[in-house]
Amino acid sequence: MLRHLSATHVPFRLKRPFRISRGTKTVADTIFVEVRDGENIGRGESVPYARYNETIESVLAQIQAVRADIEAGADRQRLIEIMSPGAARNAIDCALWDLEAKQTGVSVVDRIGWEKLKPVDTALTISLDTPENMAAAAQQLRDVPLLKVKVDASDPIAALRAVRKVAPNPRMIVDPNESWSIEQLGSWQRQLVDLRVDLLEQPLPAENDADLEGFESLIPLAADESGHVTDNLGQLALRYDYVNIKLDKTGGLTTALEMLEAAEREGLGLMMGCMVSSSLSIAPALIIAQRCTFVDLDGPTLLSEDRENGVVENGGTMAPPQPGFWG
């Protein structure tokens, strides 16, 4: 039976503006994909990201370009051959995983041979703001297990001190989103140690990664914007301690599973991240998160309204969605 593929732009309004070093957003623009076979519906979601030159229009166009192949029965491996990594492929890949689960009655987790999904501790994010406002946000999260703090190059230590003062106990990820120089990293790292920072995510612009070779960091470093696919993991391992796997970067769960195994072979620690998105993006990401030391999947908690029956976050712990939601 021939399939039918549809793709639409679905915006989700945020509870409050979300600011990082590159800019501020008030809406999460997602791409929603359905693949139908007449009886079953597979669903997937992705988030176009301007950092990677993606737009709503470009992602929809990429999906439209392979529509005939998907409707003619192309599988996930064929998808890898005809599409580049990115948000468009991710949405289709996840929809195909979901469709296979619906067709066979075998869950995605069972299909890949893993144990039943367990709740995971996820970072809860403090958006870039004044130190006073960041402290106020941290006050509300002082009892969670893991914080992620967005900073830029404008006195990040003041912001982190303000956060630590009111939230002394959580583990902490600091994310400058490529806004620091190697000189700034060197000058601030002793203070980061004093502030008990557990992980520093992508401090330098990806194009300046070579500056990290030979640099003796006092804080474990995680590659985010620098880490997309398996091809450069060997080089990343010379510069970073962890790699942040995101389905929108790898181009789906299929290649994320491959990247996870390859990263472990290279001796890289694992982090699972996400864009600001709904539970439909997070459900497949929770599979990878089972194997990760650091998890940052709080995207749905930033939305004014999430999809029904999605993931549930309580006190910094995220539980999988209701059965039948995805996969």
pLDDT at 2 over 70: yes
Catalytic entry in 102, 148, 246, 249: 246
Structure tokens at 9: 């732009």
Instruction: Yes or no: say if 42 and 95 are a contact pair by the CB < 8 Å rule.
Output: yes
Taking the C-alpha atoms of residue 247 and residue 260, their distance in angstroms, rounded to an integer, is 11
Instruction: Express as a percent the part of the chain with pLDDT over 90.
Output: 95
3-state secondary structure of 85: coil
Q: Which helix (H) or strand (E) holds 240?
A: none
Residues listed for the chain: 327
Half-sphere exposure of 59 (CA within 13 A, CB side): 32
Active site (annotated) includes residue 25: no
Q: Which domains does the chain have, with CATH numbers?
A: 4-105 (3.30.390.10), 120-319 (3.20.20.120)
Structure tokens at 305: 């309204």
Q: What is the DSSP string of 279-319?
A: HHHHHHHHHHHTT-SEE---GGGGBSS--TT--EEETTEEE
- Residue 22 banded pLDDT, cuts 50, 70, 90: confident
Active site (annotated) includes residue 150: yes
pLDDT, one tens digit per residue, over 159-189 is 999 999 999 999 999 999 999 999 999 999 9
pLDDT at 1 over 80: no
> What ranges make up the beta strands (E) of the chain?
4-20, 23-36, 41-46, 120-121, 124-126, 146-150, 171-175, 199-201, 221-223, 242-245, 269-272, 294-295, 312-314, 317-319
Catalytic entry in 116, 118, 148, 150: 150
Q: What angle do CA 151, 152, 155 make, to 5 degrees?
A: 90
The pLDDT, as a whole number, for residue 51 is 87
Terminal CA-CA length for the chain: 21
Taking the C-alpha atoms of residue 89 and residue 247, their distance in angstroms, rounded to an integer, is 9
Taking residues 224-238, report their average pLDDT.
90
pLDDT, one tens digit per residue, over 91-141 is 999 999 999 999 999 999 999 999 999 999 999 999 999 999 999 999 999
Taking the C-alpha atoms of residue 327 and residue 309, their distance in angstroms, rounded to an integer, is 13
